[in-house]
Amino acid sequence: IGFLERDQRILRDMGAKVAFLGVEAPAATEQELQGVMVSSEALQSDSSGDFVWRISNDTVERRPVRTGGARGRDRVLVLEGLAVGDTIVRSSPRPLQAGHAIRTD
């Protein structure tokens, strides 16, 4: 932040409050506050909708999810279909199918 014209009333090391004009992000709704953030890499889509692969008992299961949209470049808010603490597959070198055994690194 700088001044185009110096004002004699402004002194070195003086504090200032700055506001940037622009589009404000909408406030989070109560429902959004109860969502789960996941990596956008983990979210997949097909003709039946969005889903992630959830790990349960060393196997994967396809878990349909309802998203609340992107949050930044690499995060997606999941509103339904996952719970805090669920483990999901972020990426896999091979296509996954429900019931396949999985090894985590």
Distance of alpha carbon 31 from alpha carbon 17, whole angstroms: 33
pLDDT at 105: 66
Cβ atoms of 81 and 52 within 8 Å: the answer is yes
Strand 44-46 relative to strand 49-56, pairing = antiparallel
Task: Report which of 42, 46, 38 is spatially closest to residue 68, judged by C-alpha positions.
Answer: 38
Low-confidence ranges of the chain (pLDDT < 70): 1, 19-33, 105
Half-sphere exposure of residue 32, counting CA atoms within 13 Å on the CB side?
A: 10
Taking a C-beta distance cutoff of 8 angstroms, is the pair 38, 83 a contact?
Answer: no
Which residue's entry shows tokens 């790990």? 55
Total Cβ atoms within 10 A of residue 12: 4
Task: Check: pTM over 0.75? Answer yes or no.
Answer: no
